[in-house]
Amino acid sequence: MKEKSKAVMWLCFTVLVAAGMKYVPPYLLEQRRLDMQERALDMREEAFLHQRVAPTVSVPVPAGVHANSSQLL
């Protein structure tokens, strides 16, 4: 009888451990998703910072200002 109860105890313990390994709390899933988004953003930032061509910037000119080279800074 004692051997049978040990076997049942180990079986229950194994089932509980296996079930616990499969269960992932929702906050950990959300944290994993946010970490993946952050890594993707970091990779895009690195690619942007190490690009060979400088980015261009366009500045809107107000309607009343005429493009005269002597007035430009």
CB 61, CB 67: distance < 8 Å: yes
Contacts of 48 (CB under 8 A, 6+ apart): 55
For residue 44, is it within any domain?
Answer: yes
For residue 12, is it within any domain?
Answer: no
Instruction: Read off the pTM.
Output: 0.43
Lookup: tokens for 20:
């616990």
For residue 66, is it within any domain?
Answer: no
pLDDT at site 1: 64
Tally of domains in the chain: 1
For residue 37, is it within any domain?
Answer: yes
Q: What are phi and psi of 53, to 5 degrees?
A: -95, 130
pLDDT at site 30: 93
pLDDT at site 37: 96
pLDDT at site 35: 96
Sign of CA dihedral 23, 29, 35, 37: positive
- Full residue range of the structural domain in which residue 40 is found: 24-49
List the beta strands (DSSP E) in 1-73. none
pLDDT at site 66: 63
For residue 60, is it within any domain?
Answer: no
pLDDT along the chain (73 residues), means of 10: 81 82 81 95 92 78 64 55
